Amino acid sequence: MKSFWSAHESPRVVAIIRMALAGILLFDAALRWPYVVELFSTAGLPMPLHVGTPFEPPALSATLAALLFSLKLFALFAVLIGWRTRLSLVVLFVLFGWLGLLDFIGSFKKYSVIALHMLFLLTFTNSGGVWSVERWRSRNRDVSTSLSPPFSPPLSPLWPRRLMQILLCTIYLGAVITKVRRRDFATGDLLMFSLLDDRWGGGWFGQWLSTQPHLLVLASMSTIFFEIAFPLLIWMPQLRRSMIVCGILFHLGLAAGMSLAVFSPIMLVLLLAFANESDLQWVASGLRRLPMMGKHFPSRDSSITRAPLTTPSPPRTDSAGRVVWGLLVYTAAAATAMGLGYAQQRSADWYGVFDGSINERLVPLNKDNVEYVLSEESPEFHEYIHRIEIGSRVSNFHMFGKREQFTSSDVVHVLIRLVQEHPPMELQAMLLAPDGQTSDQFLIPLQTAQTHATIGFRLSPNMKPGRYRIVIQINGYDVAEQTFELVKR
């Protein structure tokens, strides 16, 4: 157990996590660049929503928002290339949390909290020890001073990566606890509505999956099984790689079916916390066999593999003058990035806040618009019906034996799926014969929390063959209709 936390390891894995996470967050931040004033300043939307709580961050003017967001972009780039990595991670951690809380709805999502934890834990690693500007500078310095033996980067402590692993397991366990408490998750309805939602749904795959009720149930139950199994099985050495592959496939499936912004990529990066040096060697050996790739993946990196993996290598210390000079260069680069970012925001001035040309005068509504805004329209009851299915049997709020022809000895089951949230309503279902006469009807009061309504019309031998209609009404208004054919046995 002591080695589980206190051991040291090659910095390769955490370096990959550093570069991948910084690249994803840099892409996400670049998409928000045109909306900095709107999202993060007092000249934009009235954010944050948690005013008066201990977590209320200081509000920013448009100028400060542009400057600090530019500094955030610089810190992300510095983390990506490994320049003053630990300092850049600290700056990024502070700005990421501060700006995220200012735009609580748009920027501070589940993936933001996960990324914030990862940034914090990366500050305690030697993620800048390889594949970084720091590594390049150290090599050049050693060559110039003819150091012997060649420079070997300090090993990275293992415990931050262990905490990332535990973070991933707790995310899955928390998610499965939330899902099993929802009545509509096991039936596939929650997944279906998420796929159809304008905000969360996305892509042809998600649209197609939303039309497959049985696959929705399978996907929902498979999700619960995976989120329970992963935290339990990932710690078994024989199953570790298999569970990592399952996790990759799981999040690729989420990305294909739903619009989750950068949630899936960040979770894929967090999965890398369960990779180790042997996995990297295994991947490199596979790539080495590909044509034209062998020269990019040498058999081993002596600067790392020669160092023992049980004790950390002593870090190289720079002179005080070199440290001060490096900090001055870093600060000058950050100030330049802030100045260029502010200049670009001021030049574009998408919201007219920097030159004072914003128009704050409210335009009065005319009489017709006032009457339209204040008018109360009757509710569109058909919007509360999501789908209606008919079949020979129904179980667990799913229709089975769907068909369009029935015989006089059958029972026509009707499943009505309601959209949440809906007001209390009165649902009436009528079975109309080919001549328009009512053969049977049901009246069902629907409470607000009700998600389904099921009805069974029992057919009889004295009913004439032909096309029958099932008419659904809510509070006396026709909202839907289904038909079926009654045939002779």
pLDDT of residue 317: 60
pLDDT of residue 287: 75
- In CATH, what is the architecture of 381-486? Sandwich (2.60)
Global model pTM greater than 0.85:
no
Neighbouring C-alpha atoms within 13 Å toward the C-beta of 384: 26
Contacts of residues 205-209 at CB distance under 8 Å and 24 or more positions apart, as own/partner, are: 205/256, 205/257, 206/256, 206/257, 206/258, 209/257
Give CA–CA dist 3/310, Å, rounded. 9
pLDDT of residue 292: 64
pLDDT of residue 318: 65
Q: What does the pLDDT profile of the chain (489 residues) look like in tens digits?
A: 678 888 999 999 999 999 999 999 999 999 999 999 988 888 876 655 555 556 677 888 899 999 999 999 999 999 999 999 999 999 999 999 999 888 877 778 899 999 999 999 999 999 999 999 988 887 766 555 544 444 566 899 999 999 999 999 999 999 999 998 887 788 888 888 888 776 777 778 888 888 888 899 899 999 999 999 999 999 999 999 999 999 999 999 999 989 888 999 999 999 999 999 888 888 888 777 777 665 555 555 444 444 444 455 555 566 788 889 989 999 999 999 999 999 999 999 888 888 766 555 667 778 777 777 666 555 577 778 888 889 888 876 777 778 889 998 899 999 988 887 788 899 999 999 999 899 999 999 988 878 888 999 999 988 999 999 999 999 888 888 999 999 987
Query: Strand, coil or helix: what is 309?
Result: coil
Q: Which amino acid is at 112?
A: S
Provide CATH 2.60.40.1930 ranges for the chain: 381-486
Query: Strand, coil or helix: what is 441?
Result: strand
Burial class (CB in 10 A: 0-12, 13-18, 19+), 214: exposed
Cβ count near 144 (within 10 Å): 8
Query: Strand, coil or helix: what is 355?
Result: coil
Give CA–CA dist 341/69, Å, rounded. 8
Query: Strand, coil or helix: what is 169?
Result: helix
Left if phi > 0, otherwise alpha if psi is -120 to 50, otherwise beta: which for 391? beta
DSSP 443: E
pLDDT of residue 43: 84
Give CA–CA dist 247/222, Å, rounded. 12
Q: Which of 384, 403, 378 is nearest to 453 (CA)?
A: 384
Burial class (CB in 10 A: 0-12, 13-18, 19+), 276: middle
CB contact at 8 A, 303 and 152? yes
Burial class (CB in 10 A: 0-12, 13-18, 19+), 320: exposed
pLDDT of residue 150: 47
